[in-house]
Structure 1
Amino acid sequence: MNGVQLLLIIGVGIAVTAVARRHRFEPGWAIVVLAAGASFLPGMPRLELDHELILALVIPPLLYSATRGASFAAFGANLRGIIYLGVVTVVLTAGFLGWLSSLLLPSIGLSAAFVLGAVLAPPDTITTVSHGHEIGLPRRATSILTGESLVNDATALTLFTIAVAAVNGAHTTWQGGFRDLVRAAAIGLGIGAAYALAGLIIRKRLGNPTLETSLVLLLPFTAFLTAEQVHASGILAVVMAAFSMSINLTLDPKHQYPGGYLTRLQEEQVWRVLDFLLETFVFAYIGLQLRFVLDDLTEHGDPGLGRTLIAAGVLLVAAIVFRFVAVFALFGRWRLRHRMAERRAGRDPRYRQAHEARLQRRRSRPLPPPSIKETVLVSWTGMRGILTLAAAAGVPALTDAGRPFPGRDAIQVIALIVTLGTLLVQGTTVGRLARLLRFDLAAEHAEQERLRAAGRAVMAEAAAEPDSDAAFEAQRLALGRAVHDQRLSEDVARELIEEIDLRQAARHTIPT
């Protein structure tokens, strides 16, 4: 790929995104379709990048950016639902789709079939969350889907790595794979926390927004590559680093410093631009591969174009249906256990007292299981997206033994078709479904307004002179303490802190 081609891809992507957003159309879907069509133009060269380069350059910054806006408190409150969806459901989906792929495409082998299962397993729920306000998602569903998007990527890519190793001849069992998953997760989390701590210590000593932003931009790549070097989860390293950095820099008084507001404002815009450029590139890159992988499938004859297209259609339907089954089964089990515990508490006073004692020892009461309406909505948010395409593009061309990777072209075609199919079937209808379910969000909106009013009261109490640097710092510190004392939610505090940052920046920009 030369520089001119890369610039043309990005330039066309900007134009397509502008038109798509004006007409309220999903830009990623439009870019993939147009790029796939462009691949059939006469003289269009095949664009090839090293698979490790794609995973290392695309996944870390996108995941770091998505994690920055996540609420740690909401993540903890919805941890059970997030683990159900981000770990259990992804493992079950990868196993089921891998097994089904081995039946549909027996020539690629069982290990390569599980590579395909891992590629297709994680839904891109963060796309739904980004439009949550306009389509009317309840906050509970938004929190669960946000947490799922962070955990399922790590789970799927760890399974992907194990499956690729199996293709390369590594001896892998279910027990060994589970141990590898736990080990990779634990070490990855530790590496992410260590790099975040180092970043927090170094950042406030730089004293320059450009240098501080550059440091943060390096953090996801460094955490990811370090973890991958020791065969740990680079994805979880990035998630932990992003959580630790964003929460501490915004809400922890120990990590506040003069001028930090300039870096926060600058970073917000930098990450938005970087997200757009990387997503545009990946959607265009995988679309531009279509003609060439179809040609390869036709030429090689095994598994063949016809069988691959049939498998893609079956796997598309299976992916949608299996998420429904898995989500209803897991959330239904959760509701059943919750109902049984309530009944036992009503019959057994000693059990009720012990249960209440356990709840009092916690800082917050655990949330009840999702309602039937929330379960239906979460079940329908199974659109595949950027990670599926990036993982498919990251399948190596050759095995460690130097032989062609079995089924690579079929994996890429099926990943593209399943992604496009879920975006078309589910992505274009999830908003309509949310409206049909008629969630009553009045109480949520009232609670948000109450919290905003409480936050503004905290700000007013913290500073008598609202337009001085000292007052701005005092307001931010007061909001951080309010979150720590559970008088204010994390997302409302961040929203108000961004307002403070903007006012402080305006004060230093506009002549007085």
Structure 2
Amino acid sequence: MEALFEVVVFLAIATFGAALARRLGLLAPILLVVLGLVLSFLPGFPQVRLDPELVLVGILPPLLYVAALETSVPAFRLNLRPILLLAVGLVIFTAFVVGTVVHLLLPDLPYAICLALGAVVAPPDAVAATAVARRVGLPRRIVTILEGESLLNDATALVLLRVAIAAATAGAGGVGPGYVAGEVLVATGGGVLVGVLGVLVFGFLHRRIDDPLLDNALSLIVPFAVVFAAERIHASGVVAVVVAGLGIGHRLPLLLSAASRLQIGAFWRLARFLLEGLVFLLVGLQLREVLRNVDEPFGRLLGITGAVLLAVFLTRFVWLFPAVYLARLVPRIRRREPSPPVQAPIVIGWAGMRGVVTLAAALGLPLTLAGDRPYQRALFIWLAFAVIVVTLVVQGATLPAVARRLRLPPDDPVQEALAAATVQQQAGRAARERLDALVDTVPEAVADRARRVVENRTNLAWEQLGGSERETPSRAYARLRQEMIDAEREVFRSARDAGRISEEALVRAYRDLDLEESLLRPEEAR
């Protein structure tokens, strides 16, 4: 009962923090982390020790899955080279740089356990990257690259962490090239295989379900099912979830009915909102527990922490600029991908926030090394925690200002609106052709009504090219129709209160009016 009460309290605080962040114009992840830091020292406030398994198997899979569902597979494939350079190359580079720095500062420790810490702090967080990048309003290609990086980098880091821990606990002599190659093959290959099987199995089930509630329940099961299946064969659950999410998301229009898509979209928006808020709050709440176990002298602790933070920050930029511009020396890449403005790698470099996966991985570090030799595990957990807080609070809070100061060229809204209007006109033409083929099967008034719907939708798409300075006919209609819907709702509510209609009749009427209102405000459905 007490555990349930604490969960409700944390969810309520996370919701309040997100609402406060919106009111203040701040990024919710940052405010929630700071709020957690403050609450962690409040006397009598419940203290929570994060379970690494709960994070990696219970919280991360649904968040990765919904992010993958919403990722454009064509855009992901188009940007696969920069995504892999960040998600694989940069993670490995960061892990070795940080591991080397820590080994130089703590030479008595084996290099393998220092490399494990490097793998822990190497991957930017999937939740933080998505939440911050979309809120800042970065160009679409940069958002795609950051989201793609965050979908895959956890797998790279966790595989490297597994190898480093094996070397640290069994002795470096027990970990050779064959072991490393086998771990990589099983983790990535097995994860891809489980993910593809998940797409086939759950895609088959989705296609044969016509009940939105069952579709919604199945969608909730998918990320956990593929993670558990991947873990059973010691493969990467992260890779499995990402592959399953990308595959099912790409085929979603063919697998689900309109009602199922609407309900699943609403469900995952709520689930992501609650889980993201809870995750960042819990990260902040770990501060008191982390500090309690650290016994390093303050000056030494400050020096080691500063060195690790500097290494984490600089490695991203040191890797990014050669990866971006030296690659353009290859003619084929230069023709396909023109050199971006220098502001782009700066913004991508600044968006390296760490999150809950780093903390969960740190909490999963072994208690002892080879030969049952203890080491400063509490110090390593503190270093991971410091990297999370500093990168998230400092870089995340300043990212909007950095993006504005650099004046990164935004996406052209006119070109986007023109492309959408052109496709909408083609869709309208196809709809009219289908209507003409079926016009003899319906009354003329019905055909005229259907024809007006198509014309209005096409006109609305072309109106987007006119900008937002004036009230377009569609906006005027939405404003007028909203007033009419409010009047209709009041009549139905009064009739219910007077006992002239049943509660069921009121619910049916409100449902129809709510659906129409949602069409008047499409931005609220995202």
Which category describes the TM-score, using the shorter chain as reference length?
0.7 to 0.9
Query: What number of residue pairs does the alignment pair up?
Result: 444
Residue 424 of structure 1 aligns with which residue? 393
Mean CA deviation greater in 219-228 or 370-379: 370-379
- Higher alpha-carbon Rg: 2
Q: Displacement, 1:197?
A: 0.8
Residue 475 of structure 2 aligns with which residue? none
AA aligned to 1:186 is G
- Paired with 1:148 and 1:263, the residues of 2 have a C-alpha distance of 29
Residue 384 of structure 1 aligns with which residue? 354
Once the two structures are superposed, what CA deviation does each residue of 1:298-351 show, in whole Å capped at 9, x if it has no partner? 3xxxx5555334322221121111101010121122122249x87xxxxxxxxx
- Paired with 1:402 and 1:14, the residues of 2 have a C-alpha distance of 47
Residue 300 of structure 2 aligns with which residue? 307
AA aligned to 1:212 is D
Q: Is the 8 A contact 2:92 2:157 kept in 1?
A: yes
AA aligned to 1:332 is Y
Q: Is the 8 A contact 1:283 1:389 kept in 2?
A: no
- Paired with 2:235 and 2:252, the residues of 1 have a C-alpha distance of 26
TM-score w.r.t. structure 1 length? Answer: 0.78
Q: Is the 8 A contact 2:119 2:157 kept in 1?
A: yes
Q: Displacement, 1:431?
A: 1.9
- Paired with 1:447 and 1:130, the residues of 2 have a C-alpha distance of 26
Residue 370 of structure 1 aligns with which residue? 340
Residue 316 of structure 2 aligns with which residue? 323
Q: What secondary structure does 1:429 align onto?
A: helix
2:87 matches 1:91: no
AA aligned to 1:241 is A
Counterpart of 2:202 (choices 174, 184, 199) is 199
- Paired with 2:421 and 2:190, the residues of 1 have a C-alpha distance of 42
Residue 277 of structure 1 aligns with which residue? 274
AA aligned to 1:288 is L
Label 1:127 to 1:215 Cα distance change in 2 as closer, same or farther (>3 A).
Answer: same
Q: Displacement, 1:192?
A: 0.5
Mean CA deviation greater in 123-132 or 274-283: 123-132
Label 1:266 to 1:506 Cα distance change in 2 as closer, same or farther (>3 A).
Answer: farther
Q: Is the 8 A contact 1:112 1:407 kept in 2?
A: no
Residue 498 of structure 1 aligns with which residue? none
Residue 77 of structure 2 aligns with which residue? 76
Label 1:47 to 1:334 Cα distance change in 2 as closer, same or farther (>3 A).
Answer: same
Residue 25 of structure 1 aligns with which residue? 26
- Paired with 1:404 and 1:36, the residues of 2 have a C-alpha distance of 32
Mean CA deviation greater in 107-116 or 138-147: 107-116
Label 1:47 to 1:507 Cα distance change in 2 as closer, same or farther (>3 A).
Answer: closer
Q: What secondary structure does 1:168 align onto?
A: helix
- Equivalent positions of 1:4-403 (< 5 A) are 4-44=5-45, 46-106=47-107, 109-124=110-125, 127-132=128-133, 135-169=136-170, 171-173=174-176, 176-250=179-253, 252=254, 255=255, 260-298=257-295, 303=296, 306-338=299-331, 366-393=336-363, 395=364, 398=367
Q: What secondary structure does 2:386 align onto?
A: helix
AA aligned to 2:347 is L
TM-score w.r.t. structure 2 length? Answer: 0.76
Q: Is the 8 A contact 2:294 2:382 kept in 1?
A: no
- Paired with 1:192 and 1:327, the residues of 2 have a C-alpha distance of 30
Q: Displacement, 1:140?
A: 2.3
- Paired with 2:209 and 2:369, the residues of 1 have a C-alpha distance of 43
Once the two structures are superposed, what CA deviation does each residue of 1:151-198 show, in whole Å capped at 9, x if it has no partner? 212211222222233333273346643442233111111110101110
- Paired with 1:334 and 1:38, the residues of 2 have a C-alpha distance of 47
Residue 383 of structure 2 aligns with which residue? 414
Once the two structures are superposed, what CA deviation does each residue of 1:99-128 show, in whole Å capped at 9, x if it has no partner? 212223445543332221111101236645
- Paired with 1:324 and 1:431, the residues of 2 have a C-alpha distance of 18
Residue 489 of structure 2 aligns with which residue? none
Label 1:428 to 1:172 Cα distance change in 2 as closer, same or farther (>3 A).
Answer: same
Residue 476 of structure 2 aligns with which residue? none
AA aligned to 1:275 is R
Identify unmatched segments of 5+ residues in structure 1: 343-364, 476-504
AA aligned to 1:146 is E
AA aligned to 2:142 is A
What RMSD over aligned residues (CA atoms) do the two structures have, in Å?
Answer: 3.2
Q: Displacement, 1:144?
A: 1.6
Once the two structures are superposed, what CA deviation does each residue of 1:412-471 show, in whole Å capped at 9, x if it has no partner? 2222211221123321222222222323336x3222112211221132122235999xx9
Q: Displacement, 1:407?
A: 3.5
Mean CA deviation greater in 366-375 or 153-162: 366-375
Residue 409 of structure 2 aligns with which residue? 440
Label 1:274 to 1:423 Cα distance change in 2 as closer, same or farther (>3 A).
Answer: same
